Structures are given as structure tokens and as C-alpha cells.
Chains A and B, each alone.
Chain A
């Protein structure tokens, strides 16, 4: 069974630039999550989708972050404009029930 795919794996941008991350969940998983993991901390949920609807985006900084899952499968997370404090690993996960399966993450460095 293929796992959760994410791209790119690494990204370096300057502050005020924009960036987008892509996630392809495990086939058949209705729930998709985007997490932000800052160095030394645990993953923090940014947004959770159930199919193509948003279940929870209470911790998403909506002035600069956006996410979509148009057809209920793939998802993109965008940051525009980026700030230095956005440097982190962005994890995508998917689940069918309660167990989440994580992708390898995208390491973002904002300079």
C-alpha cells in the first residue's frame, strides 16, 4: 500500500515570498490533515479536511495560510507571504478512522 506522498521535501525561500506544498493521501482515506512542526515541538494541527470539507482550521493563520482539497483527494497548503517564524516541517497525514498515517514532510526554511 502506498503511503502519504508530499512534495517538495525541502524548500528555501526568502521572507515575503510565497510557497505551496502538495499532499497525496493514502487511497480511500477521507480525512486529511496538515500539521506544522517547529523544531523542538510536537506537530500542531493547522487544518483538517473530511473529504473536501473543512472540519477544523482554528489554528490556521488565515491571513497568510490557505489550504484546499478540491476533489476530496489531493491537497495543497499555501503560505503567502512567508515570515521567518514559518520555518518548520509541514506534515500531511491521512486517516480512514482514528489512526493517522504521516507523510515524510516538507522542511521549509524562510530566510
Chain B
């Protein structure tokens, strides 16, 4: 069965520190990959997505993610976090053919200290 693993459940960083959140998935076919973010008291919203092409994807608010097919990974990065990045981050994977459902990881809760 398809699964998505996020290795860190809780991350605490100081402002200006660099961020990398890990995401690995189990499906071997062609996939669409997503990172969603949920700020405190707000809806889940899309941060960035990968469908095809350049494996380095730029998203909103300075976030980026790199798709490494050989490692089944789609890690999220940001060179310098801000207090306002405090949120929960979810990786999600969808098979790009056949209408397969989107599978979400368990989420990583990020707290940035001012």
C-alpha cells in the first residue's frame, strides 16, 4: 500500500536557522508531490507542488523542495526561517495516473523561536 513518511514530528528552531523537513513515499510509479502548511487557526493550504520537469520546486514564502526519484524523497527546505513559519507541515503524494487518492504524511509541527 502507498504510504508517506515524515521523519520529524516536532522541530524547534531559532529564527534565521535553516530548515529541512524529510518526506519519503513508498509508491514506485509516477507521482504528483505536494507540501501543505497549516498555520495556527488557519486552513490547510498548498505550499508547493511537483508534477514534472525541474525536480527543484520553488514555493511561496521562500520555501523549496527537491524531488529525488531514486530516493523516493521530496524534502522541504528553507534557508532562513522566521517566527511566522511556525506551523504544521504535511507532505502528500498522489499517483499521477489512475485517479489514485492523495496520501498525507502524519505532519511535522515546526516551532520557530523569536
Interface residues of A (CB under 8 A from B): 3-4, 33, 40-45, 48, 55-56, 58, 91, 93, 98-105
Instruction: List 27 interface pairs A-B (beta carbons < 8 Å), by A numbering.
Output: A3-B43, A4-B43, A33-B102, A40-B107, A41-B107, A42-B4, A42-B105, A42-B107, A43-B44, A43-B104, A44-B104, A45-B101, A45-B103, A48-B101, A56-B101, A91-B44, A98-B49, A98-B94, A99-B34, A100-B102, A101-B46, A102-B43, A102-B44, A102-B45, A103-B43, A104-B43, A105-B43
Contact A42 B90 (CB under 8 A): yes
- Which parts of B66-114 form the interface with A (CB within 8 Å)? 90, 92, 94, 99, 101-107
Given contacts A98-B32, A98-B49, A98-B94, contact A45 B43 (CB under 8 A): no
The answer to whether A40 and B106 touch (CB under 8 A), given A3-B43, A104-B43, is: yes
Main secondary structure of the interface of B (DSSP, over half): strand
- Total A-B residue contacts, Cβ distance less than 8 Å: 45
With the chains together, A105 CA to B4 CA distance in Å? Answer: 22
**Which residues in B have their C-beta under 8 angstroms from that of A104?**
43
CA distance A68 to B51 in the complex (A): 30
How many angstroms between the C-alpha atoms of A32 and B103 in the bound complex?
A: 15
Contacts of A101 in B (CB 8 A): 46
Of residues 18 through 66 on chain B, the ones whose CB sits less than 8 Å from some CB of chain A are 32, 34, 36, 43-46, 49, 51
**Chain A contacts of B49 at CB under 8 A?**
98-99
Instruction: Kindly report which residue of chain A lies nearest to residue B6, judged by CB atoms.
Output: A42
Kindly state the separation between the CA atoms of A43 and B90 in the bound complex, as whole angstroms. Answer: 9
A55 near B44 with CB under 8 A, answer: no
Residue contact A42 to B101, C-beta cutoff 8 Å: no
- Other than the known A93-B44, A99-B49, what 17 A-B pairs have Cβ atoms closer than 8 Å? A4-B43, A33-B102, A41-B107, A42-B90, A42-B104, A42-B106, A43-B90, A48-B101, A56-B99, A56-B101, A91-B44, A98-B51, A99-B46, A101-B46, A102-B36, A102-B45, A103-B43
